[in-house]
Amino acid sequence: MKCSVPKGTRDFLPIEMARRNYIFDTIRGVFRAFAFEPIETPALENLSTLMGKYGEEGDKLLFKVLNSGNFMEGVDFADDYHRVAPRICDRGLRYDLTVPFARFVVQHRDQLTFPFRRYQLQPVWRADRPQKGRYREFYQCDADMIGSPSLLNELELVQMADMVFARLGIRVVMKINNRKVLAGIAELIGAPDKIVDITVAIDKLDKIGHDGVIAELRDRGLTDGQIEALQPVLALNGTATEKLDQLEKTFAAVEVGLKGVAELRELFGYIQSVGTQCQVELDLTLARGLNYYTGAIFEVKALDVQMGSILGGGRYDNLTGIFGMPDVSGVGISFGADRIYDVLTELDKFPANLEQSAQVLFINFGAASLPYILSCAARLRAAGVSTLVYPDNAKMKKQMEFANRSHVPFVVFIGEDEMRDNTLTVKNMAEGTQQTTTLDDLLKTLTV
């Protein structure tokens, strides 16, 4: 029988667990410093909670769970499979942490104190085509605040991202945009349905130049008049503040655009006031998650590695509306733990000695010394020292090989002398030295 995991899923070995936990602990520590509280939602959600929230493509990528019992009863299998699937599946696997969070807020609104900040570190599932850096089962690390329109929330998310990547030692650039500015641009040129086409084209300015962008805009169906109206946006340059000044003039009477400029101005003002370690840029081509973002849009990229974004986020003014609780504004960020893992690996930035394996191994010489060994081991373990007793009275060579391969730093030998004198002979495996000591002294060495 062939042993394997499903395509796009992974096992995590102890060393990988240690590295992943290093990332999770760093993120969790920052979330807690900013007073976010942990919640968890079930992996299984009602399919009705998930369907229609991620677009048509998203509905296809939902993993659907077959009903138990006779799922076939009363179902017409001559119908199209798209229509059959939701009839034989009432539940699906969580696709992200945002929609379940919205459902959670509505369901538990009476138990929560608003503004409410929660964080959530859990796996999500997508039936995407697996490829390098894209998995079907992967972890998201989300922090959202809900119930306050203040831009101080946006500031704190920027600070949190900055703190996490500084602590992980990853040099990054944070890009910020605002959906209202994008809406303003579309309104300005009279092409409200072309936001995505416009941003995709503008995004290539560095690569294909001004004329290239114009050609692309024309390919994407913009009229000459619209392209002409877009000129001031294409010509934007300078610092964030300078760009915002130019935009404000360009928008003139486009209200939504001016609101976006004002929000960005306030946010960049805060950011300059507190300062960040990472680069923060205004990027008018940033358009991720247009489905539900209504204000700020965030994205972080690593500077020293070629990799997609390692954080995304934004403000959504009406996420809980889909579950019947309107007018609750939220803003959040999501760290891509798997990509951060890949970045740290590529940069070789994981701390050494992360793996928590045994610190002490007692060599097993058979029944005579066992009671003595077990009582020493019990004391070490009670003090939290990771301790192994080799379980079998195997040949010394085999036991030492095990010690070497397991990277145990201290190996203890107990013979008649040690039992008589109430001592231990301890070999320091890194230094190759050996000395006789007491349990108390060993404990002190190990728990300092």
Segment 82 to 111, residues that bind its own copies, using CB under 8 A: 84-85, 88-91, 93, 103-104, 106-108, 111
- Per-residue contact string for residues 9-28; x = within reach of its own copies by CB under 8 A: xxxxxx--xx--x-------
Longest dimension (CA), the chain: 97
Determine the length of the chain: 448
Closest to its own copies by CB, 125 vs 251, is 125
Where do we find the tokens 């891509």? Answer: 336
Closest to its own copies by CB, 59 vs 216, is 59
**Least distance (Å) between residue 20 CB and its own copies:** 8
Give the number of residues in contact with its own copies, rule: CB under 8 A: 105
Order of strands across the sheet that contains 410-413 = 387-389, 360-362, 410-413, 424-428, 433-437
- Per-residue contact string for residues 224-263; x = within reach of its own copies by CB under 8 A: ----------------------------------------
Residue pair 295/177 in contact by the 8 Å Cβ criterion: no
Which residues inside 158-177 make contact with its own copies, applying CB under 8 A? 159, 163
User: Is there a cis peptide before residue 115, judged by omega within 30 degrees of 0?
Assistant: yes
Closest to its own copies by CB, 195 vs 365, is 365
Decide: helix, strand or coil at residue 52: coil
**Least distance (Å) between residue 119 CB and its own copies:** 10
CA distances from 11 to 137, 211, 339, 406 (A): 11, 49, 16, 20
Q: Is 354 in the site for its own copies (CB under 8 A)?
A: no
Q: Is 214 in the site for its own copies (CB under 8 A)?
A: no
Closest to its own copies by CB, 222 vs 376, is 376
Q: Pick the binder of its own copies from 25, 71, 345, 428 (CB under 8 A).
A: 71
- How many C-alpha atoms does 77 have within 13 Å on its Cβ side? 4
Closest to its own copies by CB, 311 vs 388, is 388
Backbone angles phi, psi at 183, to 5 degrees: -65, -40
Residue pair 299/307 in contact by the 8 Å Cβ criterion: no
Q: Pick the binder of its own copies from 54, 95, 125, 410 (CB under 8 A).
A: 125
Burial 429-440 (b: 16+ CB within 10 A, else e): beeeeeeebebe
Provide the residue type at 79 as one letter: D
Q: Is 40 left (phi over 0), alpha (psi -120 to 50) or beta?
A: beta
The DSSP string of 156-184 is HHHHHHHHHHHHHT--EEEEEEEHHHHHH
Closest to its own copies by CB, 428 vs 447, is 447
- Per-residue contact string for residues 408-447; x = within reach of its own copies by CB under 8 A: ----------------------------------------
Q: Is 43 in the site for its own copies (CB under 8 A)?
A: yes
Q: Pick the binder of its own copies from 303, 368, 374, 396 (CB under 8 A).
A: 374
In this structure, what DSSP letter does residue 113 have? P
With CB under 8 A as the contact rule, which of the stretches 37-45, 228-236, 289-297, 409-417 interacts with its own copies? Answer: 37-45
**Closest CA relative to residue 349, chosen from 341, 357, 361:** 341
Closest to its own copies by CB, 178 vs 309, is 178
Q: Which residues lie closer than 8 Å to 191 by C-beta, 6 or more apart?
A: 198, 222, 226
Closest to its own copies by CB, 72 vs 303, is 72
**Least distance (Å) between residue 85 CB and its own copies:** 6
Closest to its own copies by CB, 14 vs 221, is 14
